[in-house]
């Protein structure tokens, strides 16, 4: 967040120090919300690029934040740092971290690196562990359902949405607007009590999501597959964030009903 005025955009490659450093030299950067990343499927397909962006660029950003006296760095982490847990286990920030892919491992490393900068250099580094983000506008080729469940609610033509999971499975989701509000709550807080927070989310059962979507619009047909959610917990304790920031999310099913005009 530079002091150069609202709405100004400066584009640069975070992995390119020659592009990034001049931003800090010419702009008074007070706070950073770091969301840049190569996402899970792309990371597995291109591990070199994923390492350059998810790890090396993040390390470079933290180093410059320290050198130029940035007040706070808020990192968009992921629930994938926990790995897979059973459906009955409630996962808090103290739970064992055991990422199962390159993406989750990179998120965990940057969290640990940020903690080191917090302890050694006084950088106010805060990590927000985020679940599956849903809402209109996403252009994911591997998880198109995350945006389709909102974008197709008012369709006038028959359409199909693929949810790749079994009906009885539970997934943790949160709306993109809630994510934005959480990030702004953290960046604007006078101080933070912790360096890691689980982002509040909705635990929804896939079969119930299917029934709701088909009820809200009879033109929608939801097809399920047999995948089991992996790489993320299924029950999350996010009271730390709620209590400190007095934050409540809007349940996903309520958002879907409102978006459908019901």
In a domain, 4, yes or no: no
Position 228 scores a pLDDT of 87
**41 found inside a domain:** yes
Structural domain boundaries, residue 145: 17-259
Give the tens place of pLDDT for each residue, 228-241: 888 899 999 999 99
Helical H segments across the chain, by residue range: 17-26, 40-45, 47-50, 58-67, 102-121, 145-151, 176-188, 206-216, 239-245, 252-259
Mean pLDDT check: name the lowest of 37-41, 151-155, 253-257.
37-41
Tens digits of per-residue pLDDT, 39-54?
A: 998 999 999 999 999 9
Give the chain's domain count.
1
Using DSSP's 3-state secondary structure scheme, residue 127 falls into strand
Would 8 be classed as within a structural domain? no
Instruction: State the burial class of residue 260 (Cβ atoms within 10 Å of its Cβ: 0-12, 13-18, 19+).
Output: middle
Rounded Cα–Cα distance for residues 38 and 103 (Å): 8
User: Residue 5 domain-assigned?
Assistant: no
Question: Is 44 inside a domain boundary?
Answer: yes
* Mean pLDDT rounded to a whole number for the chain: 93
pTM: 0.93
Any idea what DSSP says for residue 126?
Answer: E
- Whether 109 is covered by a domain: the verdict is yes
144 found inside a domain: yes
What confidence tier does 4 reach under pLDDT thresholds 50, 70, 90? very low
Asked whether the predicted pLDDT for residue 61 surpasses 90, the reply is yes
pLDDT band at 7 (very low <50, low <70, confident <90, very high): low
Asked whether residue 110 is assigned to any structural domain, the reply reads: yes
Can you give the CATH number for the domain in which 227 is found? Answer: 3.40.50.720
How far apart CA 249 and CA 135 sit, in angstroms, is 14
Query: If you count them, how many residues does the chain have?
Result: 262
**Per residue in 165-190, pLDDT tens?**
999 999 999 999 999 999 999 999 99
Distance CA 83, CA 246 (A): 28
């Amino acid at each position: 967040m530079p002091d150069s005025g609202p709405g100004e955009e400066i584009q640069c490659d975070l992995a390119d120090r020659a592009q990034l450093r001049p931003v800090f030299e010419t702009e008074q950067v007070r706070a950073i919300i770091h969301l840049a990343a190569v996402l899970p499927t792309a990371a597995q397909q291109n591990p070199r690029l994923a390492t350059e962006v998810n790890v090396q660029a993040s390390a470079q950003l933290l180093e410059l934040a320290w050198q130029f006296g940035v007040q706070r760095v808020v990192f968009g982490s992921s629930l994938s740092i926990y790995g897979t847990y059973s459906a009955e286990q409630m996962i808090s920030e103290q739970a064992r971290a055991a990422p199962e892919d390159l993406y989750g491992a990179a998120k965990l490393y940057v969290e640990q690196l940020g903690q080191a900068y917090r302890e050694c250099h006084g950088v106010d580094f805060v990590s927000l562990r985020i679940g599956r983000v849903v809402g209109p506008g996403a252009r994911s080729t591997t998880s198109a359902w995350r945006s389709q469940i909102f974008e197709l609610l008012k369709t006038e033509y028959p359409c199909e949405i693929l949810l790749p999971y079994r009906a009885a499975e539970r997934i943790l989701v949160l709306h993109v607007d809630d994510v934005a509000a959480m990030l702004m709550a953290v960046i604007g807080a006078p101080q933070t009590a912790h360096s890691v927070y689980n982002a509040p989310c909705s635990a929804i059962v896939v079969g119930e999501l299917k029934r709701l979507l088909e009820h809200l619009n009879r033109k929608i047909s939801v097809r399920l597959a047999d995948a089991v959610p992996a790489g993320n917990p299924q029950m999350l304790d996010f009271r730390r964030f709620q209590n400190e920031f007095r934050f409540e999310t809007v349940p996903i099913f309520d958002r879907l009903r409102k978006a459908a005009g019901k």
